[in-house]
Amino acid sequence: MQLLPVRIDVARHRDERIASIRRCRVETSERLGGRFQNMPDPIWLGRTEKGRLILDQREQFLDYLRGLDGKEIEVCVRRRRHARSLSQNAWYHACIVKLISDYTGHSPEEVHQSLKAQFLIDRSGLEPRVRSTTELSSTEFVEFCERCCHLAGEMGLSIPSPGDAE
């Protein structure tokens, strides 16, 4: 029996999880008398069209906004970042990290931590910190992987491209 490949719409599932979390927050808030106690502020997704804001869950946003009536608020609008894909992450660990690990004799986790320490230093705060790969957008993750591949090339390793690795 031949198994058929299954494609999962990660973005749709992520959006469904976000909606579920929001519903849970609203239900919990209602049980707590309308206050979001010790809960992070919800994030509302949407887009702009001709200078207008179009929210994905407009009614839920308006309900939340009504709960803040008379209070000072803070509004932050930024371009939506798309997180790295599961396939990008799998390729990074299966190809880049594994090949460097095999070559150096270090564990995959040691290689991963070393690559992050070499290429993902955030100096924007008071003290430098190593960023997690989970913080990277898909574009940033591609750039990180390109740097890792270049380093592997300097070691004499040839990392297969994501299309060749499958």
Same domain, 56 and 20: yes
Which mean pLDDT values do the consecutive 10-residue runs of the chain (166 residues) have? 45 59 57 54 86 90 89 84 79 94 95 95 90 88 94 93 70
Shared domain check, 90 and 161: yes
Structure confidence at residue 17 (pLDDT): 62
Question: Based on the structure, what is the number of domains in the chain?
Answer: 2
Q: Do residues 62 and 91 share a domain?
A: no
Rounded CA-CA distance 84/142 in Å is: 8
Q: Which amino acid is at 1?
A: M
Which residue, among 14, 163, 9, has the nearest Cα to 81 in the 3D structure?
A: 14
Residue-level pLDDT at 96: 95
Whether residues 61 and 29 fall in one domain? yes
Same domain, 95 and 62: no
Say if residue 124 is in the same domain as residue 62: no
Burial class (CB in 10 A: 0-12, 13-18, 19+), 141: buried
In a domain, residue 135? The reply is yes
Final residue of a domain: which of 37, 66, 95? 66
Structural domain harbouring 18: 10-66
Does residue 5 fall inside a structural domain?
no
Residue 76 lies in a domain: no
The answer to whether residues 49 and 95 belong to one domain is no
Cα torsion angle, 87, 89, 91, 93, sign:
negative
Q: What is the pLDDT of residue 116?
A: 95
Consecutive H or E run containing 23: helix 10-31
DSSP 137-160: BHHHHHHHHHHHHHHHHHTT--PP
Same domain? 15 vs 55: yes
103-133 burial, b at 16+ Cβ within 10 Å, e below that, comes to eeeeeeeebbeebbeebbeeeeeeeeeeeeb
Q: Report yes or no on 79 lying in a domain.
A: no
Give pLDDT, residue 42. Answer: 82
pLDDT for residue 125? 85
Residues 95 and 109: beta-carbon distance below 8 Å: no
